[in-house]
Structure 1
Amino acid sequence: MNASEALTVTKQAAADGKLSESAVENIQSWLTQDRYSRYRDQVVAEIADHNWQALDDAFWTIIPFGTGGRRGRMYPIGSNAINDRTIGESAQGLADYVREYHQGKKGLSCVIAYDTRHRSRHFAELCAGIMVAAGFKVYFLDDYRATPQLSYAVRYKQCDCGIMVTASHNPPSDNAVKVYWSSGAQVLPPHDKAIIDRVMSCENIQSIPFDHALADGKIEIVTDEIDQAFLNVASQQAFEGPRDVKILYTPLHGVGAEAVMPLLAKDGFKQVEVYGPHEQKSGDFPNVPGHVSNPENKAVFEAPIEYARQNGFDLILATDPDCDRLGVAAPVTMDPAGPWETLTGNQIGAVLAEFILSKRAEAGTLSPEHYVVKTLVTTELIRRIADSHGVKCIGDLLVGFKYIAQAMDANGPDKFVFGTEESHGYLVGQYARDKDGAVACMLLSELAADLKQRGVSMHQYLADLYRKHGFHQEYLINLVMEGSEGMAAMQRLMTAFRKTPPESMAGIPVTQIRDYLNQTVTNTADGKQTALDGPVGNLIIMDLADEGNYVAARPSGTEPKIKLYVFTRLATEESQDLDAAAKKLGDRLQSLESDMRAFAKANS
């Protein structure tokens, strides 16, 4: 079968309902355009084998840049897959734009790092060869390293950009590139759209073999240099206090041990053990449930908790494969042999905010000009904690830590105290512009040691915050919608939220709809609209009649799903009996989830 015959067969498959029209269009490009010539035989072979579902998944769209870069399932061919072509386009598009933006500048440079995923090293070398061919000096981290180390390295080496090869906590089938600007933050407007334009219009990819570029000195290995510099600057974020706490740490088969263990040791923690079954560096993530190394998932803690209970640990810390997110489990009481519970991303953010602000207040280093930063879908408990310490909270931000980084630079990094997002991302200090699981591990360990000395458990500490600021409970609903039909379903559901939203949820009236894409606030009682002063993005927030209760909806920027964020709260006076408060909000969350799933099913 030749390319022409393959195209005829492909069009017939579409007529038979086996392929989407958009897939046919993209397959035709790969069969006929010179820029895809090296992949032509592979495409023809897939068509000859009638692998229609795989072909539709790989070609129905062009894989986009989302909140974290370009991420997706790996497949050797396809516009909607991670492969040499789509990764190469990403690096070439980045190189082309940075050269245009810095027209005439000499000495352009880029840092590249990678994690433990399948083909991460290969993709990192591919990107390095492309950047060198475009005239860049490349600083290369020549082993598995953490995303926050890449963010720091861009700033430390004063580079024009950076590339991190990782798919964070996605399944083993996935990989990605995260693209960073000279600030050390992931690319923001207008640079993101400009880079996308270059990526989408990329014709030819120019590359130099990695080994040749390394031998010529155009690629420089900086692993040891960055390790030491990162350790020094990250350890400066520590607070004085006790260190008598026994910690079990799991890197979930990722890169975290290289960043976390030296940092905890430098901060004085002597009783730290890496959980053996999760220590192996593997892109298969063999010993975590479902082979998904996501610290947001309670199931990844089940085996470590049993080990911790049997061996008298006080705290369990888990970082995702690229070590930019932190998950936590702790005993409910001061007895490690008793029951344990995990903390949500919002709860970790709350206890860290209180700890950091309290330590800063004790040291006399807080003022009304200092501020914390969070996103719109992160708990408002953070804002209430900030208010209690007399500092500002900047919280009107879209999802993505790059917006927290942007707020840091816009408001002055010298007054930045803490940044947090509900998806387990945390940062202190000015050394990086992305979330850092290693520094979060250090601070959580300091908090645990401080609480142990006082005879207070982590959960009791959180309970005190609830009594002071009102009981807050949040829940995330992930509606997975894969493929071309899934994208259409997501669009239908977001349209329904905008045009025909539910009148009530959990028996509580919906009072207004905040539409951040169209910049409107709609009063549901009379339909009147007013202007919304906020960031522009595909996010909808439905406010309920009870203050502090609302639901947010947005398509994920990195995965084929719609995320529904459910927020509930009781007033302070209703929150003194926490068992009763937990029962009330637990029932409310269950009812809200049921109503939201029913609405989604009927409207997608």
Structure 2
Amino acid sequence: MQDPLSAVETAVLDSKLSQSASLNLRSWLTEDRYRGYRDAVVEHIESEQWQKLDDVFWTIIPFGTGGRRGRMYPIGSNAINDRTIGESAQGLANYVLEYAKDHRDLSCAIAYDTRHKSRHFTELCAGIMVAAGFKVYLLDDYRATPQLSFAVRLKQCDCGIMVTASHNPPSDNAVKVYWSSGAQVLPPHDKAIIDKVMSCQEIHGTPFEQAVASGRIEVVTAEVDAAYLDAAAKQAFSGPRDAKILYTPLHGVGAEAVLPLLKRDGFAEVELYGPHAEKSGDFPNVPGHVSNPENVAVFEKPIEHAKSVGADLVLATDPDCDRLGVAAPITRDPSGDWRTFNGNQISSMLAEYVLSRRAAAGTLSANHYVVKTLVTTELMRRIAEHHAVRCVGDLLVGFKYIAEVIDREGPDEFVFGAEESHGYLVGQYCRDKDGAVACMLMSELAAELKSKNKSMHQYLNDLYRKHGYHKETLINLMMEGSEGMAAMQRLMTAFRQSPPKALAGISVAQIRDYGSQTLTKVATGQKDSMEGPQGDMIILDLADEGNYVAVRPSGTEPKIKLYVFTRLSPAQSSDLAEAEVALTRRLESIESDMRSFAKQNR
């Protein structure tokens, strides 16, 4: 190994390789646990692929808000490959074994989506869990993430693994790790599992076919499908079903959940959009090959088709069908102009729909509650207050925190949960966002509005008039590689220590720092302790109430996210066209100020 190690040292001296990458490379070249990858690493060194080696070795791929996610490459501590996926499964198994202590009959549910190597990683994870003594319940076909959450609860598993990278590019894959509640792992389990993953030396696996033959892997696809459909259909409300729906799974798994559910709910006119129907990890017919329903571009072609067939609504779910995107005609004329909704708008419309239907049925009380994250629109809170129910909204980003509230506050009183990144949930059947049930509820709303000759956009405008015009945007500051990580840390420090004094000409009144849990009054510099969750996020509250910016590093991608929230009072929102212009200008000005601040401090 001396020659490859010397070459690595020389590459660092020649500035072809970062110091952190060289340290991780040394481990993969010298430590016995990486012996199976040594030849490939040496081959890369001999062919002087320094940029690639730096990319895949400069850090150790972390666990974020959605598990361990990243770009696939056969080698590397900062890539998704057999080693990093294997460490994840082995670390999970080791922790559950230690946590259970009595080593009773342990079990794990596993599912996967249409991404490249998802089935391969599924077999790898299943074999590792079996070797550790677990019974594995396998959804052995492409299935949605909420169906995995449901399966964990149905089969009373100790944990679960979903192999998916959600809406990331085709180059990526990941594992999402679930606890016995059916929610993604929370503190203290998440940190403890990470410790086990990071300290993993040996990975032990049982050959997949052998584990199936022995009964240690049991295929439960049909059982879970039937039970999930029954449970999901119970979340429906009665009412009109005369709506023509165009649905696109964006080349993912959603058709297996959405289409049966809409049929069960009585929707007869549901069309699967053909160009996106193929199950493919390349996402071939989606702009940029990124199947993200937050991206307006993915709706362009489906909207064209919807106009031609007179559809009332276009629904899109991401590859693992836990997120929902929506587009609808601005008026009741399907041949006219269409517009998409962002996650905050969908959250607000679904909250109003579910709460109003529950209120009409007499099944709401002051003990009932809705749940949202800190970066989800406050319009949801105002809607909840209008219906005299609680809103739990001081949560960090991640649907697992919404799931935690459901179990803490009581599932019987839970009404609706949402996050701005297009995740929604009702009911008690699972503990993760569910794109299929969200499709069902949105279709019901479309049919109800059609029966009243009202468009979905008019419905949203009614909410703005009642509660004030709300407008939000998300700014992504990409910071890739080792230099990007350092830039992210510098920028977060700048926001904490020397934040901007004003944005869009409005004074910054206070800074909420969820890392140190302190609230700072900008005018006086007075610092007070602050209740709430602890995490790496800062909120800049402007002097104009309802206007603020939340800043946080992404838990799944190399970027800082800036969530910008603006609002006008109901009195200022009587003319929605004027309100739209005013807040659009305000958002543009805030974005300009924030980008300038970031450029100066990154």
1:138-217 residue pairs with structure 2 within 5 A?
Answer: 138-217=136-215
Among residues 274, 286, 289, which one is paired with 1:288 in the alignment? Answer: 286
TM-score (norm: length of structure 2): 1.00
Could you tell me which residue of structure 2 aligns to residue 319 of structure 1?
Answer: 317
SS of structure 2 residue aligned to 1:465: helix
Q: What letter is aligned with 1:361? A: A
Cα distance in structure 2, aligned partners of 1:75 and 1:87: 11
- CA displacement, residues 11-58 of structure 1 (integer Å, 9 cap, x when unaligned): 110111111111000000000000000000000001111111111110
Among residues 396, 402, 405, which one is paired with 1:404 in the alignment? Answer: 402
Could you tell me which residue of structure 1 aligns to residue 104 of structure 2?
Answer: 106
Among residues 522, 525, 528, which one is paired with 1:527 in the alignment? Answer: 525
Could you tell me which residue of structure 2 aligns to residue 225 of structure 1?
Answer: 223
Could you tell me which residue of structure 2 aligns to residue 582 of structure 1?
Answer: 580
- CA displacement, residues 302-333 of structure 1 (integer Å, 9 cap, x when unaligned): 00001111110000000000000000000000
Cα distance in structure 2, aligned partners of 1:53 and 1:550: 40
- CA displacement, residues 380-409 of structure 1 (integer Å, 9 cap, x when unaligned): 000000000000000000000000000000
- CA displacement, residues 127-171 of structure 1 (integer Å, 9 cap, x when unaligned): 000000000000001100000000000000000000000000000
Could you tell me which residue of structure 2 aligns to residue 53 of structure 1?
Answer: 51
Could you tell me which residue of structure 1 aligns to residue 442 of structure 2?
Answer: 444
2:528 is the counterpart of 1:567: no
Q: What letter is aligned with 1:197? A: D
SS of structure 2 residue aligned to 1:348: helix
SS of structure 1 residue aligned to 2:291: coil
TM-score (norm: length of structure 1): 0.99
SS of structure 1 residue aligned to 2:162: strand
- CA displacement, residues 517-558 of structure 1 (integer Å, 9 cap, x when unaligned): 011111111111000111000000000010000000000001
Could you tell me which residue of structure 2 aligns to residue 414 of structure 1?
Answer: 412
Cα distance in structure 2, aligned partners of 1:4 and 1:162: 42
Among residues 111, 129, 134, which one is paired with 2:127 in the alignment? Answer: 129
1:19-98 residue pairs with structure 2 within 5 A?
Answer: 19-98=17-96
2:344 is the counterpart of 1:373: no
SS of structure 1 residue aligned to 2:482: helix
Cα distance in structure 2, aligned partners of 1:272 and 1:107: 43
Cα distance in structure 2, aligned partners of 1:520 and 1:14: 41
Cα distance in structure 1, aligned partners of 2:312 and 2:38: 57
Cα distance in structure 1, aligned partners of 2:327 and 2:5: 54
Deviation at 1:4, TM superposition (A): 1.9
Q: What letter is aligned with 2:431? A: R
- CA displacement, residues 324-376 of structure 1 (integer Å, 9 cap, x when unaligned): 00000000000000000000000000000000000000100000000000000
Cα distance in structure 2, aligned partners of 1:110 and 1:559: 27
Among residues 9, 13, 16, which one is paired with 2:14 in the alignment? Answer: 16
Cα distance in structure 2, aligned partners of 1:485 and 1:150: 37
Among residues 236, 239, 250, which one is paired with 2:234 in the alignment? Answer: 236
- Give runs of ≥4 in structure 1 deviating > 3 Å: none
SS of structure 2 residue aligned to 1:536: coil
SS of structure 1 residue aligned to 2:508: strand
Cα distance in structure 2, aligned partners of 1:77 and 1:262: 40
Deviation at 1:241, TM superposition (A): 0.2
Cα distance in structure 2, aligned partners of 1:255 and 1:478: 27
Could you tell me which residue of structure 1 aligns to residue 392 of structure 2?
Answer: 394
Cα distance in structure 2, aligned partners of 1:112 and 1:218: 13
SS of structure 2 residue aligned to 1:295: coil
- CA displacement, residues 215-268 of structure 1 (integer Å, 9 cap, x when unaligned): 011000000000000000000000000000000000000000000000000000
Q: What letter is aligned with 1:508? A: I
Deviation at 1:105, TM superposition (A): 2.9
Among residues 490, 493, 510, which one is paired with 2:491 in the alignment? Answer: 493
Among residues 536, 549, 552, which one is paired with 2:550 in the alignment? Answer: 552
Cα distance in structure 1, aligned partners of 2:321 and 2:224: 16
Could you tell me which residue of structure 2 aligns to residue 425 of structure 1?
Answer: 423
Cα distance in structure 2, aligned partners of 1:499 and 1:590: 25
2:455 is the counterpart of 1:457: yes
Cα distance in structure 2, aligned partners of 1:489 and 1:517: 18
Deviation at 1:587, TM superposition (A): 0.5
Count of aligned positions = 602
SS of structure 1 residue aligned to 2:101: coil
Could you tell me which residue of structure 2 aligns to residue 481 of structure 1?
Answer: 479
Cα distance in structure 2, aligned partners of 1:240 and 1:190: 41
Structure 2 portions without partners, runs of 5+: none
Deviation at 1:104, TM superposition (A): 1.6
Cα distance in structure 2, aligned partners of 1:11 and 1:553: 38
Deviation at 1:106, TM superposition (A): 1.6
Cα distance in structure 1, aligned partners of 2:308 and 2:212: 49
Structure 1 portions without partners, runs of 5+: none
Cα distance in structure 2, aligned partners of 1:242 and 1:324: 25
- CA displacement, residues 460-504 of structure 1 (integer Å, 9 cap, x when unaligned): 000000000000000000111111001001001000100010010
Cα distance in structure 1, aligned partners of 2:566 and 2:115: 37
Cα distance in structure 1, aligned partners of 2:48 and 2:190: 37
